[in-house]
Amino acid sequence: MRFAFSKSAVLVHLALLTIFLASGSCRASALGTYLPLVWLALATIEMCLLFPPAVKGETIEASRRRAARGLFRDPLFFTGIAGLVFILCQTLNGPRPVGYDGAALTWRVGPPPLAGLPSCFDRSQAFQAFFWLLPAWTAALAIRHGLTRRGRLRLLDVLAALSALLALFSLIQYGRGAAWRLWGQTVAPDYYGIFAYRGFAAAFFGMMFLVAAGLLITALEDGVSSRRRRLLFAAMLLNLVAAAFTREHGALLLVGCGGLAGLVYAFAHLRRRVAQAQKIRYLAALFITLAALAFLHFVAYPENALHARFQVLRSGQVLRNGWFEERQVLCRAAWRIFETYPAYGTGTWGFRHEVGRFLSDADWDRIVSGTQNPITCCCDPLQFLCELGLVGAGGLLLAILLLLVPFCRRLYLLLSANPSQIASLEESRLVRFPPVAVASLAAVVGAAAMGFYDMPFRDPLVVLVWFMLLALLPGLLPVPRGRLAPNDAPAPPREDRQKGARRWNPFARRRRHNSRREV
């Protein structure tokens, strides 16, 4: 297969963006390590404008004009710019002074340098959100305007391969008990692989397990080479094991329920699409794999940490350890902080600076973790609302809705289309969805559900992959081209302009006038 950089430039830059965040070289304590993201983001946008997807019969100049017109008219483009400017305003308008009032025996917060504008308590902490949102915004725009359907499927392959390598490294590190990450960096107290927190790894590997499963079902249906099927099966298995050994409740529920639902879906989807002999071979391979995992879990290593976590879940101790009560206390404090700063919030990670003022002595007694400086309320939507306010959280919600609108439109067109419009459509509407689209949607929903009782969206890699999957969803659905909306289909080359006609230019008349005066 020949490689043409002009056709894969956007895909290569998206892969580099993901690989850089997955390398473990970025550290929140040193924001300078995030600076290459700015250059990668600018280069990705540049590739979208220089090498856009071409339409048959269209010149490269016309393709570039169409790509620029579509990019600069996309509401997501301006929403992202507004969000980044909001984060910069929060960062620059700070820090707010905090002092103890001896007369009132309470802590008080002073005004920001510029009253009435977004502010923060710590500039370096507030600026972290800039590097969370910049890669995700860039990737979403590049997917919408720079990738074809084939390019989007290849991007999923890249994500599956990268997640398999990260899972392999994380499992090796977990088995050896080594206190190091890639490039020999020091680790956080609750590290897992390249991730500083197990909850980040749980969300990432849980999402990629479902995506790899969807790619595997598609490969089994299409009858591709056995090498590709084996690689996808290995990627799915590695992500499954890596997510399970995070020992996070959300990861165990996601891979457990997702795995069972995936088995049922795969059997129903492949029942009439795969020969009987192939079904027997696939079931035999699945049975052997499950038997090997059961042997390792129950017989070879019966005292492993994952087995102990399952015993805790079965006994119900997790519901009686006080963690849920602590979470409720912190969530109520986060809501009171939001009521104090409703418009602009406290700035990223401002919850940790303000939560102490909104906790009573009885609330402190309910915090069973023993920490005197809670950094999260274990509910990402509420904490984003608390730290970004109505303006910032509203912009983030608007960006998500803008990514969901094309998917909902295509979903409606797919469900209302007749089989005569697309030869591959089935009569039953339930089997029209491609497996990779179902798996990607399940990954997006599953990670979003984990965000309601943990903080997975505090990691830039998780945010990037989640927004990538959300932007990829519309292009994974087969929809009749004749029924696509103008914003979903590439615009054809303009043929209404006569040959030799000039494009209107508001400065052309002045230039001609000046040229006559010079003569």
Domain ranges of the chain: 5-322+374-483
What are the E-state strand segments in 11-154? Answer: 98-101, 106-109
**DSSP-based three-state secondary structure for 451:** coil
- Residue holding tokens 């009686």? 320
Which residue type sits at 340? T
Asked if residue 95 has a cis previous peptide bond (ω within 30° of 0), the answer is yes
Reduced to 3 states, what is the DSSP secondary structure of residue 106?
Answer: strand
Residue 19's pLDDT is: 94
CA distance 369 to 309: 18
Q: What is each CA distance from 251 to 72, 177, 239, 242, in whole angstroms? A: 39, 21, 11, 10
Which helix H or strand E contains 237, and what residues bound it? helix 226-244
Q: What is the pLDDT of residue 39?
A: 94
Q: Which residues of 55-83 are buried (b: 16+ CB within 10 A; e: fewer)?
A: eeebeeebbbbbbeebbeebebbebbeeb
Map tokens 């960096």 to a residue: 185
Predicted local distance difference test score (pLDDT) of residue 489 = 47
Are 124 and 32 spatial neighbours (Cβ–Cβ below 8 Å)?
A: no
Find the Cα–Cα–Cα–Cα dihedral 84, 89, 91, 96, rounded to 10°: -150
How far apart, in whole angstroms, are the C-alpha atoms of residue 497 and residue 99? Answer: 68
Contact assessment for residue 232 and residue 215, using Cβ atoms and an 8 Å cutoff: yes
DSSP labels, 66-92: HHHHHHHT-HHHHHHHHHHHHHHHHHH
What is the pLDDT at residue 504? 45
User: How far, in Å, CA of 330 to CA of 377, rounded?
Assistant: 5
Digit-by-digit pLDDT tens for the chain (519 residues) are 455 567 789 999 999 999 999 987 887 777 888 899 999 999 999 999 999 988 778 888 998 999 999 999 999 999 999 999 999 999 999 899 888 777 777 788 888 999 989 999 999 999 999 999 999 999 999 999 999 889 999 999 999 999 999 999 988 888 877 655 555 555 566 688 888 889 999 999 999 999 999 999 999 988 888 899 999 999 999 999 999 999 888 899 899 999 999 999 999 888 888 888 888 898 899 999 999 988 887 777 777 778 777 777 777 666 666 778 888 999 999 999 999 999 999 999 999 999 988 988 888 888 866 666 788 999 999 999 999 999 999 999 999 999 999 999 999 888 887 766 555 566 566 677 899 999 999 999 999 999 998 999 999 999 999 999 999 999 998 876 555 544 454 444 444 444 444 444 545 555 555 555 554
Question: Which pLDDT score, from 0 to 100, does residue 304 have?
Answer: 76
What's the pLDDT at 14?
96
Check residue 321 and give its pLDDT: 67
Report how far residue 134's alpha carbon sits from residue 81's, in angstroms, rounded to the nearest whole number: 9
Query: Which pairs count as long-range contacts for 426-433, CB under 8 Å and 24+ apart, including other chains?
Result: 431/268, 431/269, 432/478, 433/477
